Structure 1
Amino acid sequence: MTTLRALVLGCSLKSGPQESSSDLLGRQILDALADHDVDGDLIRVADQNIKFGVSTDEGDGDGWPAVREKILAAQILVIATPIWLGQPSSVAKMVLERLDAELSETDARGRPSMYDKVAAVGVVGNEDGAHHTVAEVIQALNDVGFTIPAAGSAYWVGEALGKVDYKDAGPKPDTTGASVKDLAANAAHLAHALAATPYPAGQ
Structure 2
Amino acid sequence: MSNLTALVLSCTLKPSPAESSSVLLGTQVLDALGSHGVTGEVVRVVDHRVRFGVSTDEGDGDEWPALRQKMLNADILVIATPIWMGQPASVCKMVLERLDAELSETDAESRMLTFGKVAIVAVVGNEDGAHHTVAEVLQALNDTGFSIPAAAGTYWVGEAMQSTDYQDLDPSPEKTVGTTQTAAANAVHLARLLKNEEYPPS
Q: Structure 1 counterpart of 2:200, which letter?
A: P
Percent same amino acid at aligned positions? 64
Where in structure 2 are the equivalents of 1:1-203 lying within 5 Å?
1-202=1-202
| RMSD of aligned residue pairs (Cα, Å) | 0.8
* Distance across 2 between alignment mates of 1:31 and 1:97: 27
Give unpaired runs (5+ residues) of structure 1: none
Give unpaired runs (5+ residues) of structure 2: none
CA distance 1:41–1:108, change in 2 (3 Å): farther
Give secondary structure in 1 for the equivalent of 2:174. Answer: coil
* Distance across 2 between alignment mates of 1:40 and 1:107: 24
Give secondary structure in 1 for the equivalent of 2:7. Answer: strand
* Distance across 1 between alignment mates of 2:107 and 2:82: 32
CA deviations over 1:1-41 (Å, ceiling 9, x no partner): 12101000000000120000000000000000011121111
* Distance across 1 between alignment mates of 2:14 and 2:89: 11
Aligned residues: 202
C-alpha contact 2:120 2:183 (8 A) present in aligned 1: yes
Return the offset for 1:173: 4.7
TM-score (ref. length: structure 1): 0.98
C-alpha contact 2:122 2:154 (8 A) present in aligned 1: yes
CA deviations over 1:147-198 (Å, ceiling 9, x no partner): 0000001000001111010000222352100000000000000000000011
Give secondary structure in 1 for the equivalent of 2:53. Answer: coil
Give secondary structure in 2 for the equivalent of 1:102. Answer: helix
Give secondary structure in 1 for the equivalent of 2:122. Answer: strand
CA distance 1:13–1:33, change in 2 (3 Å): same
Return the offset for 1:104: 0.6
C-alpha contact 2:57 2:64 (8 A) present in aligned 1: yes
Give secondary structure in 2 for the equivalent of 1:43. Answer: strand
CA deviations over 1:52-76 (Å, ceiling 9, x no partner): 0000000010010000000000010
